[in-house]
Amino acid sequence: MAAPALRAAASRESRPAHSRLCFLMRFVSSWWKRIVALRRQPAGLREMTEAPLFSDNALTILRERYLQRDDTGAVIEDPPGMLRRVAAAVAAPARTFGEDAAVWEARFLERLLRREFLPNSPTLMNAGLPGGQLAACFVLPIADDLESIFTALSQMARIHQTGGGTGFSFSALRPRDDRVRSTGGITSGPLSFMDLFDHTTAVIRAGGRRRGANMAVLRVDHPDVEAFIDAKHTPGRLENFNLSVGVTDAFFQALDSETPFPLRNPRSGRVACTVDPAALFERIVQAAWSTGDPGLLFLDEINRHNPTPQLGTIEATNPCGEQPLLAYESCVLGSLNLGAFAAEADVDWARLRSAIHDAVVFLDNLIEAGCFPFPEIEAATRRTRKIGLGVMGLADLFARRSVAYDSDAGLVLATRLAAFLTAEARAASVELGQRRGSFPAFKDSVWPQRGF
């Protein structure tokens, strides 16, 4: 995060004096108006809002990417105003379920002001604005035909424009030099189309304020997998993509048994060639060590945990890889700031539990509060209503508790936190289902079989 701050500092130094004065006057004016308005708020929230919320670096990022601007590009919002905008917009859907939106707005605002919880960037950017798209993660399908490829390309561009990131599996595309029956020519293969998606991403800033991001997945049994593994050895290639090889049980069985592993043409299903699985795995390891990519996506293991297998097979994830999604699904994300729950001798478990439950409601509300870029995405998202609740600030918590990372105490605390988050998030989801009803695909999902 240092680089944007340094660039901003340099631009401030080079800014003419009269420009800096105008900026300062606007800044002071906006803060004075905010302080006057805040006199109507409860004392507790007023004190939190008037206290410094963010570091200088954080304020630089907020001004560059998140705070609202007028038609001239001038910033017209301060950080507390941004958080109030978000809290009000996200609380509003509570009325749909017969709940008191004002109560939820106050609870959400307190969590945000205390920095106990923050949602994904599109929510901070777009909540409360016309046509606001609030989700961070999308997976788009790509079939082996030009219409599907360019439909996905167009949809990717639109999603990036509204601040989201996209994941794709290119595994259905026939390999390079395969025949095209309709023209008699040969194909350029999935890597060439990844280049096209990468170049398109480069010219579209996500939400108009930051670079777009993608995930490309290629199955380990695709004939072009070796070229995919080596792609980032070429400087600048696919720099707007994270890459993941979709590994399978069959691959690891071949690796263990030291037997040749077949690569199959996805168009025909026929074996194109066989490779030494150990050499292929070594190639993956070396590329990951030297370039940072590819990662591994354990496709069979992911689908063993697919909660809605009746809806399809999971083939890809969001750009960061933590959220496997079905075709056209989107996911809203948020993170609990563990550092905010450090108590004098322990973690404030009661406050953390309460924050988890509020965060689950917050994220579920985002599905109602947001607009969707395409009908297919809205239908898929509402069918499963997936949310992603994670954590940040583990290092801060450890530091405040004087716990070393590489220590038994650190491992025990991290394990306890993960178990606590999982259990309480599920409990909050059950409570939400009891109040608001289950997600539409619940009946045929795995959850009834597990006693939910």
| pLDDT tens digits, one per residue of 159-169 | 999 889 999 99
Given this model, what pLDDT does residue 186 score? 87
**Would you say 350 and 404 are in contact if contact means Cβ atoms under 8 Å apart?**
no
Q: Is the pLDDT of residue 302 over 80?
A: yes
Higher pLDDT, 203 or 237: 237
Given this model, what pLDDT does residue 424 score? 98
Q: Which among 142, 137, 160, 72 has a CA at the least distance from the CA of 366?
A: 137
Strand partners, 387: 332
Helix (H) or strand (E) holding 121: helix 121-126
Average pLDDT over residues 17-44: 42
Given this model, what pLDDT does residue 206 score? 60
Lowest-confidence segment of 1-15, 114-128, 301-315, 433-447 by average pLDDT: 1-15
Instruction: Give, to the nearest 10 degrees, the angle between helix 349-369 and helix 79-91.
Output: 70
Cis peptide before 262 (omega within 30 of 0): no
Average pLDDT over residues 162-189: 89
Q: Is the pLDDT of residue 38 over 70?
A: no
Given this model, what pLDDT does residue 207 score? 56
Domains along the chain with CATH numbers? 81-135+330-452 (no CATH), 141-316 (3.20.70.20)
Model pTM score: 0.86
Given this model, what pLDDT does residue 210 score? 75
What 3-state class would DSSP assign to 424?
helix
Segment 60-70, tens digit of pLDDT = 999 999 999 99
Model confidence band, residue 52 (pLDDT cutoffs 50, 70, 90): low
Share of the chain above pLDDT 70, in %: 87
Average pLDDT over residues 112-135: 95
β-strands 387-392, 330-337 pairing: parallel
Q: Which among 308, 356, 366 has a CA at the least distance from the CA of 164?
A: 366
**Where are the strands (E) in 155-306, listed by range?**
165-169, 205-206, 210-211, 214-219, 241-247, 261-264, 271-275, 295-298
Average pLDDT over residues 219-223: 99
Strand partners, 219: 246
Average pLDDT over residues 127-153: 96
Segment 244-278, tens digit of pLDDT = 999 999 999 999 999 999 999 999 999 999 999 99
Tokens of 148: 């599907």
Given this model, what pLDDT does residue 430 score? 95
What CA–CA distance (Å, rounded) separates 314 from 328? 11
Catalytically active residues, by annotation: 318, 320, 322
Tokens of 205: 């800033």
Count other Cβ atoms within 10 Å, centred on residue 103: 11
Q: Is the pLDDT of residue 35 over 60?
A: no
Average pLDDT over residues 310-323: 97
Q: Is the pLDDT of residue 300 over 80?
A: yes
Segment 352-395, tens digit of pLDDT = 999 999 999 999 999 999 999 999 999 999 999 999 999 999 99
What CA–CA distance (Å, rounded) separates 310 from 452? 18
Strand partners, 342: 347
Share of the chain above pLDDT 90, in %: 79
Given this model, what pLDDT does residue 443 score? 94
What CA–CA distance (Å, rounded) separates 344 from 346? 6
Q: Is the pLDDT of residue 154 over 70?
A: yes
Model confidence band, residue 16 (pLDDT cutoffs 50, 70, 90): very low
Model confidence band, residue 192 (pLDDT cutoffs 50, 70, 90): very high
Given this model, what pLDDT does residue 6 score? 31
For residue 48, what are the CA distances in angstroms to 74, 102, 153, 313?
26, 19, 44, 46
Segment 2-14, tens digit of pLDDT = 343 333 333 333 4
